[in-house]
A and B are shown apart, each in its own frame.
Chain A
Amino acid sequence: MDLLLLAQEHAPAAVPKDGFLTQYMWLVPLLPVLSFFVILFFGKRMKSRGHWFGIGALSIGLAMSLYAFIELAAGNAAVEKSWTWFSIGDSINVEFGMHYDFLAGVMFVVVTLVSLLVHIYSTGYMHDDKRYTIFFAFLSLFTGSMLFMVIANNLLELFIGWELVGVCSYFLIGHYWEEKENSSAAIKAFITNRVGDMAFLIGIFVLFFAGHSFNIEELNHAVHEGHLGGTILTVGALLLFGGVISKSAQFPLYVWLPDAMAGPTPVSALIHAATMVVAGVYLVARMFLLFEGAGAALDVVAIVASITMLLAAILALVQDDIKRVLAYSTISQLAYMVAALGVGAYTAGVFHLFTHAMFKALLFLGAGSLIHAVHSNNMSDMGGLRRFMPHTFRTFVIGSLGLAGIFPLAGFFSKDEIIGGALRSASDLGSASAWVVLISATLTAFLTALYVTRMLIKTFWGEYRGHGSPHESPGSMVTPLWILAGATLTVGFLGFPVIGPFADWITVPGHEHHGFETLYNIVLPIGATVVALLAIALGIRLFSEGRKGFDLVASPFGWIYRFIENKYYLDDFYLKGIVKPIQYPIARASYWTNQKILDGVVNGAGAGAVALSHPVYDVIDQQVVDFAVNGAAGITGFSGGLLKYIQSGNVQRYAAVLFAAIAAFVAVFVLA
């Protein structure tokens, strides 16, 4: 294979060697894709209905990812490999390649771990599903697409993975397509994403024409070294961020994510923790130098994220569907990550992505376990479940506290780093957008603890309000919960101030000194914990059994409550304000175009082809082609008729001809 190994441009003087496995990490996305095809074609004939292939592929993938990560941590170089995919002229050279560094390594571990646990969990959760096999096939493809996107070394390749992720999410969200609502949710997710993807695609080409490359590292370095800049870079970065807004569910395109809850719960866990929505955050992190150099673009990122985190956290407070609470929570936490990147707290943003994947996967799988037990998504049908489901209860509380940011759980460390990063940016650089982030991140931390408390009280305390008798879920579902709970309890320490290694792993040129050790400040974690504990105390007062929760505030401020409950009328605005007015004129115009222009072209082409074909048939086919074919056959037959008389069947006559020929040759060679 013609692999071109590019030298690490940012390597220190002593160039570190490539690790053994890091060079072969492109195999990891291939494994789930392979498993997709195997499950698709052979899964139905298997006794296990195919899930072992997915679990096997991801177990190998996780083992490889962990080993490669250790190699990187041991000081091996990041790997950039590529070969030419196609060239247009001399200037446009499109590559196909991989880029595997710490950022990709963290993503690989997160994606393979969460996906593996989701696979195992699904064997229990989806056990009686009639499309079990196809579900596992797409679960594998979903994971493979995400890994492909993560390892891509150029924007076109990344875009392919980006779109594949979108398609897989469409199939999985619409898994229960028999109900109109679910297939509509899948279409909504797909189309909302398309809006942002269009911007993303245009952004890729803008950056290509500005920077003459699709290669991510080259673009980053071009910006970092000042070869690329100005308005065109700002425009390109903002267009890329358009893709992030839709994929990572930021304001105003987050509306698809709550509806995506129509899919099976394991899919929700996968979408929220590992394979879909973090793609946008990953893109910003991957192209951080470019965004940073794009001036106003990073401020826009920070402001959009600030708006999103507050709006979504408020929405999470009024939902009854437990999955929707978690969905809005995800939107809010994604905004946290994006905001962290927006204020330049690169390490903190990626760290929050990492920790959030653990506790959000845990919360979704726990919610799935609850739904499995009570056969309803609504918290009004739950209550008192801590007595029936001890394992789910304990793990869910761990996940919730991790989300609320209570010491020593994962969310505590990453959330404080983000608030600390915003504080440093606001005070040191005097950035206005960092102040906005700081204020809304603190408010969101309060709201997060509040809705988490509400969720816990409504599901696990009080009296059981549903039907039937709930029961603990099977071992295949509980085991992943405990593994993720263990991760939630421990991974935070990777980012422990000063001694945590995460800040050494995830750095970006120009921000090396912004690791965890310098920005840490003892006041900050104490303050954040106080905020979270206050929120929990308020939540317990507001939502405990017998209390009326928001009804108290709902009477004088009823309009606010209705405004929130209707999701700020954003969906209505899209439907009535944008889709409907555009839909009919567009439909009419496209119908007219179809009837008059397209049909005219098609019919004209058809009629023209018929008219043309008669002379073609009469002259070319009948006269020329047939003459040639018949002539060839006739000549062959005629010559065969003549030559057949030589074939007498008499051996001695053949021998006589043979000897005569030899004699003639001898005569020629001897006499001549």
Chain B
Amino acid sequence: MPVHYFLVLSALLFSIGVYGVLARQNAVLVLLSIELMLNAVNINLVAFSAYLGEGALSGQVFALFVIAVAAAEVGVGLAIVILIYRNRQTVDVDEMSLMKW
């Protein structure tokens, strides 16, 4: 399969992620959208790794690192969301605008 199939898929996935981050009001869904963006990146990495041939494994190794980092990031992010919910009984990101002038 030509590599641009994967690139288009990745771009679509990334755009959906960006939309989710910018438009969703639920903080959990914002985190999910971030995961979508990271996975779009992973698809890119794996696709280019396959495209470059047998020996080029660094793209795949990189994808594994991204997955690990993403897991850690979600752990921290969900912990923050839970704490905010406990304090304010809401996870609406529009409500979380205290850090302003």
Contact = CB atoms under 8 A, between A and B. Distances in A.
A659 B22 CA distance: 9
A655 B93 CA distance: 12
**Most-contacted residue by chain B among A645, A651, A659 (CB, 10 A):** A651
Interface in A617-665: 644-645, 647-652, 655-656, 659
Interface string B6-34: 00000000000010011100000010000
B86 interface: no
A656 B22 contact: yes
Contact of B100 (A648, A652, A655, A659): A648
A644 B30 CA distance: 26
Contact of A651 (B18, B23, B96, B101): B96
B97 interface: yes
B62 to A, nearest CB: 20
Contacts of A656: 22
Nearest to B25: A652
A649 B93 contact: no
**Most-contacted residue by chain B among A644, A655, A659 (CB, 10 A):** A655
B98 A649 contact: yes
B76 interface: no
Contact of B101 (A647, A650, A652, A655): A647
Contact of B21 (A648, A649, A650, A655): A655
B94 interface: yes
Nearest to A644: B101
Contact of B97 (A644, A645, A650): A650
B99 interface: yes
A649 B100 contact: yes
Contact of A649 (B22, B23, B97): B97
A649 B99 CA distance: 5
A526 to B, nearest CB: 103
A645 B100 CA distance: 9
A652 B25 CA distance: 9
Interface residues on A, range: 10 to 19
Nearest to B97: A649
B83 to A, nearest CB: 16
B28 to A, nearest CB: 14
Contact of B93 (A644, A648, A652, A659): A652
Given A656-B22, A659-B22, A651 B93 contact: yes
Interface residues on B, range: 10 to 19
B22 A655 contact: yes
A648 B97 contact: yes
Nearest to B101: A644
A419 B99 CA distance: 98
Nearest to B21: A655
B32 to A, nearest CB: 14
A655 B21 CA distance: 8
B14 to A, nearest CB: 10
Nearest to B98: A649
B100 to A, nearest CB: 3
Contacts of A644: 101
Contacts of B94: 650, 652
A654 to B, nearest CB: 10
A651 B84 CA distance: 14
Contacts of B22: 652, 655-656, 659
Contacts of A651: 93, 96-97
B81 to A, nearest CB: 12
B92 to A, nearest CB: 11
A649 B94 CA distance: 9
Contacts of A655: 21-22
A659 B97 contact: no
Given A650-B94, A651-B93, A652-B93, A659 B18 contact: yes
Contacts of A648: 97, 100
A656 B18 CA distance: 9
A379 B94 CA distance: 104
A102 B71 CA distance: 79
Interface string B54-87: 0000000000000000000000000000000000
Contacts of A647: 100-101
A652 B21 CA distance: 7
B60 to A, nearest CB: 26
A655 B20 CA distance: 11
Contacts of A652: 21-23, 30, 93-94
A652 B29 CA distance: 13
A503 B12 CA distance: 103
A642 to B, nearest CB: 11
A637 B100 CA distance: 17
Nearest to B27: A651
B94 to A, nearest CB: 7
A659 B17 CA distance: 12
A640 to B, nearest CB: 9
Contacts of B23: 652
A651 B101 CA distance: 14
A637 to B, nearest CB: 13
A655 B98 CA distance: 16
B18 to A, nearest CB: 6
A649 B97 CA distance: 4
Contacts of B99: 649
Contacts of A650: 93-94, 97, 100
A655 B22 CA distance: 7
Interface string A533-569: 0000000000000000000000000000000000000
A648 B99 CA distance: 8
Nearest to B99: A649
Contacts of B98: 649
Nearest to A650: B97
A649 B30 CA distance: 16
A648 B100 CA distance: 5
7 contacts: A647-B101, A649-B97, A651-B93, A651-B97, A652-B23, A659-B18, A659-B22
Interface of B: 18, 21-23, 30, 93-94, 96-101
Interface of A: 644-645, 647-652, 655-656, 659
Given A649-B96, A652-B94, A659-B18, 16 more contacts: A644-B101, A645-B101, A647-B100, A647-B101, A648-B97, A649-B97, A649-B98, A649-B99, A649-B100, A651-B93, A651-B97, A652-B22, A652-B23, A652-B30, A656-B22, A659-B22
Identify the 10 closest CB pairs spanning chains A and B, nearest first. Answer: A649-B100, A649-B97, A644-B101, A649-B99, A650-B97, A647-B101, A656-B22, A647-B100, A648-B100, A652-B22
